[in-house]
Amino acid sequence: MKVLVLAERPGAAEELCAGARAMGADEVALVAFGDMEMPPSCADLIYRVTVPEGLSLDNATATVNAIFDHVRPDVVLVEPTRHMRILAGALAFHGGTSAIADVMELDGDVASSMYYGGAAILKRKPGKTAIYLMQPGAFGDSVAASGANQEEPFAWVDPGATVKVLSSEPIEKSGVDLQKADVVVAAGRGFGLESDLDMARALCDKLEAGLGCTRPLAEDMKWLPRETYIGVSGLMLAPKVYVAAGLSGQMQHMVGCDRAGTIFAINKDADAAVFDQCDYGIVGDIQTVLPLLVNEL
């Protein structure tokens, strides 16, 4: 079986290439955009694509379609970033098939995804060639990527109509990239005041953790950036350690962290749902527990 991997970040590329092996791929080909450095022993073949100056990655549709025609994969695994989603959609059209998004698990070729905001599981089978947009951690960590990383340049194919980048400005981001963080502290509505988040930040400093939150803290209170909330409509994370502080453990939040290695929960309500889903729980007030933890660490 041949698998083609489309990814923007080396970590995601490695995870998807490992997943391809777990699916039984005997040939794994990876598309590398620009000078993106790939992890060693990641894939059998790496097709290096140079995106012309001033063009956004979204314009790589025709190039990716050409790589697809060249490789003729049985399965395409895609990192679900904005650019990759566009490429996957165009590729599905080109290949006369469909793309399946938000895949949390594969059982053979049947893909499971969250549905109705996490209230149900949707199972879907692909069309002709399977194109799956995989959530992080979907393959678990029981598999490793492998391959000689034999690199070949692949010529850019003009997509015809292009999307031009007029300008780009980096957004000032404080703290750790949550997708890459080994440890994540997530704050919920139990933090009564915005200034209480300093307690979570102090814990993050001790644990070298990233600070995330539940949706209400980002969407309603706007105490933390929108891109830091975790859950079915936010980030799907798989850190080694997840500290859920002052949050109730609603399913819509917990699907975003249930692939964490170890989950710690702190909540003053012993009946909070989060205690059914954590590995270690402390029943207590964050106002007391967090300063104590920070002192002890």
For ligand FAD, the binding residues (CB under 6 A) are 117, 188-190, 214-216, 229-234, 246-248, 250, 252-253, 256, 266-269, 272, 285-287
Contact status, residue 197 vs residue 211, Cβ threshold 8 Å: yes
Q: Which is nearer to ligand FAD, 94 or 201 (CB)?
A: 201
Query: Which residues contact residue 19 at a Cβ distance below 8 angstroms, ignoring those fewer than 6 apart?
Result: 77, 134, 138, 139, 143
Handedness of CA 234, 246, 210, 16 (dihedral sign): negative
Contact status, residue 214 vs residue 229, Cβ threshold 8 Å: yes
User: 70 a known binding residue?
Assistant: no
Q: Which is nearer to ligand FAD, 147 or 212 (CB)?
A: 212
User: 108 a known binding residue?
Assistant: no
Question: Where does the chain show beta strands of DSSP type E?
Answer: 2-6, 27-33, 45-49, 75-78, 99-107, 110-115, 120-124, 130-134, 150-153, 183-187, 210-213, 241-245, 262-267, 280-283
Angle at 111 between CA 146 and CA 105, to 5 degrees: 55
Least distance in Å: CB of 202 to ligand FAD?
Answer: 15
Least distance in Å: CB of 247 to ligand FAD?
Answer: 3
Least distance in Å: CB of 227 to ligand FAD?
Answer: 12
Least distance in Å: CB of 286 to ligand FAD?
Answer: 4
Q: Which is nearer to ligand FAD, 20 or 138 (CB)?
A: 138
Task: Give residue number: closest CB to ligand FAD.
Answer: 231
Q: Indicate the annotated binding residues for FAD.
A: 189, 214-215, 246-253, 267, 285-286
Q: Indicate the annotated binding residues.
A: 189, 214-215, 246-253, 267, 285-286
